Amino acid sequence: MHLVLVHPEIHSNTGNIARTSVVIGADLHLVKPLGFSLEDRYLRRAGLDYWPQVRLHLHESIDELLPMQEEYWLFSAHGRPYGEVQFGADPWLFFGRESTGLEPEILQAHRERVVRIPMRPGVRSLNLGNAVAIAAYEALRQHGYPGLQLDGR
């Protein structure tokens, strides 16, 4: 699985998602520009001691990634509910910046790949770290949580 953060703005969200990526065995892709430095102590603190295990990839543009992927999903407040999607074994899950999400042009160009996490009316968004975890664990659930320990030991 590949978790892609496009122009993330908040260091603590990215650190939290980095930790999630290690826990589930996913690659983490960050698309520049970033709203923080990768040397930021708060980013490192949010990722705890997991940073050496993060499979981190930096990209200059989302255009480097989208045309290359067989299966990708763009998470937005618009689109069909993620529960209607059958995720493949190695999906690429794209998430936009905390303040504005993915760019409208990207969503329009790939509208058949846009999914959302259902929320109550009038609520703008979930925390980015929570949204990534919900999406990633649904994809993993659909395949029996491959590579994850299920017995609680």
Tens-of-pLDDT digits for all 153 residues of the chain?
A: 999 999 999 988 998 999 999 999 999 999 999 988 877 676 666 556 777 889 999 999 999 898 777 899 999 998 999 999 999 999 999 999 999 999 999 999 999 999 999 999 988 888 999 999 999 999 999 999 999 888 876
Place of tokens 């990633």: 136
Query: Where in the chain are the domains?
Result: 2-142
| pTM attached to this predicted model | 0.92
- Say how far residue 53 (Cα) sits from the centre of its chain: 17
> Which CATH number, 1.10.1040.10, 3.40.309.10, 3.40.50.300, 3.40.1280.10, labels domain 2-142?
3.40.1280.10
Q: What is the Cα–Cα distance from 27 to 135, expressed in whole angstroms? A: 14
In whole angstroms, how large is the CA radius of gyration of the chain? 15
CB atoms within 10 A of CB 28: 22
Q: What is the Cα–Cα distance from 110 to 74, expressed in whole angstroms? A: 8
The three-point CA angle 22-25-80 to 5° equals 105
At 118, phi and psi to the nearest 5?
A: -60, 140
| DSSP state, residue 20 | H
Q: What is the Cα–Cα distance from 31 to 62, expressed in whole angstroms? A: 6
